[in-house]
Structure 1
Amino acid sequence: MDRAQGIERLRRAALTPVDGGSLTVLRLLVGALLFVSMLRFVARGWVDELLLAPDFHFRYWGLEWVPVPGPILAYLLFAGTALAALGLALGWRPRLCAVVAFATFTWIEIVDISYYLNHYVFLSALLLTFALLPIDRRPLPAWVLWLLRVQVGLVYVYAGIAKLGGDWLLAAQP
Structure 2
Amino acid sequence: MIRNVRPWRIPLAVVLTIGAVGAGWAHGLRVVAAPQADGIAGRAFYSDETPATGETVLLFDAGGARLATTQTVDDGRFVFALSRHGEYLVVAEGEEGHRAETRVRVGPLPPSAASPVAALDDARLAALIRGELQPLREDIARYEKRIRLQNIVAGLGFIVGLAGAWVWWRARRGGG
Q: Normalised by the size of structure 1, how large is the TM-score?
A: 0.28
Which has more helix, going by share of residues?
Answer: 1
Higher strand share: 2
Scaled by the length of structure 2, the TM-score of the pair is: 0.27
Structure with the greater relative contact order (CA < 8 A, sep ≥ 6): 1 or 2? 1
